[in-house]
Amino acid sequence: MSNQQTLDRIKQDIESNDVVLFMKGTPNFPQCGFSGQVAKILGHLEVPYKGVNVLEDMEVREGIKAFSNWPTIPQLYIKGEFIGGCDIVREMFQSGELVSAFKTAGVPVKDAAQA
């Protein structure tokens, strides 16, 4: 069971950063292929984000699953809203919805279509 302190810490991270990626490893050194795919997409879009390495904290690793009601890592949040895991982020990237979501949220994003 996740304790309240951990859930509060997760909530604070999500509320104080526009884009948060809960991942295994770090943006520069992902330690899981699925986390790596999302980090690569965010890097490609040049989106500023906070990466939270769940491998560094077992409480956060379990806590984020309870918090989001989502059983796997990675997990992407934009402006406090849970977006999804690796498959959803990839599908949204491919369809252009991800860029739209960042724009709607007022997050600076490199839009390849306008480059």
Partner 1 sequence: MTVSVRERMESKLRQAFHAAEVEVIDESHKHAGHIVHEGGAPHGGETHFRVRIVSPDFAGKSRVERHRAVNALFAEEFAAGVHALALETRAPGE
- Kindly tell me which residue out of 85, 99, 101, 102 binds partner 1, with binding defined by CB under 8 A: 85
Instruction: Give the three-class secondary structure for 75.
Output: strand
Rule CB under 8 A: is residue 91 a binding residue for partner 1? yes
Rule CB under 8 A: is residue 106 a binding residue for partner 1? no
C-beta pairs of 9-12 under 8 Å, 24+ apart in sequence: 9/60, 9/63, 10/60, 10/63, 10/64, 10/67, 11/67
Tell the smallest beta-carbon distance from residue 114 to partner 1 (Å).
Answer: 25
Q: Which residues of this chain interact with partner 1, rule CB under 8 A? A: 33-34, 69-72, 82-88, 91-92
